[in-house]
Amino acid sequence: MNERSAQDVAKEAAGRHAAGYVEPGMRVGLGTGSTVHWTIVELGERALDIVCTATSVQTHDLATSLGMTVVTPDEIGRLDIAIDGADEVAPGFDLTKGGGAAHTREKIVAAMADRFIVVVDESKLVPELGPFGIPLEVLDFAPGVVAAAVMALGAAEVTTRDRRSDNGNLIMDAHFGPIGDPVTLAAQLSAVPGLVEHGIFPGAMVERVVVAGTDATRELINQ
């Protein structure tokens, strides 16, 4: 059996820590990713009386395998809390999400929640969004047209993944380099016809970020 890395141990600690914000009776949004995986495991082990909605098929399957009640967003309505990961976190709490191709569902669920808590390892903290690239969910109808429109906004490159989203759409990644004004770029991307959703999440959505460090778990609170 391979020994776990310090980063893996830290991710588990932070993911389990974030589960502490969930209380019995809550309606909970469950995110997708390697750190929030441990949030879901912890919630399953605690067997709280909660109702959940999931941001991906992967998360739905994990939660139900642990005996948790998982329903659709329409069935659950407003959420008390959503907990999810991120691929980048900037100092102003702006996020890049979508490495797991689930950012459209993740954004819907985050917007449904009164509290949105992000859990990451410290490698995801960046001075500016951009190095990871911006994931895009795109309709099959005219992906070349969409890519050209994104290039016109300043992307140096737009690539297409082999993997599709759980919604059946294409997943592209737009590489802009460092993004000085993510709010403006987010609005510009949202206005591109055929682009279903992009992976920029505004910092105003985020209550706090739980950060997995190799020494300790810490929190960044958006005040």
Query: Which sequence positions are flagged as catalytic?
Result: 106
| Residue ranges with strand state E in the chain | 27-30, 51-54, 69-70, 81-84, 88-89, 95-96, 116-121, 134-138, 157-164, 170-175, 195-198, 200-201, 208-212, 217-221
Can you tell me the distance from the alpha carbon of 182 to that of 197, in angstroms, rounded to the nearest whole number?
Answer: 14
Structure tokens that stand for 84 in this block:
């999810």
Can you tell me the distance from the alpha carbon of 158 to that of 171, in angstroms, rounded to the nearest whole number?
Answer: 10
**Closest Cα partner for 81 from 50, 103, 42, 47?**
50
Residue with tokens 């958006």: 222
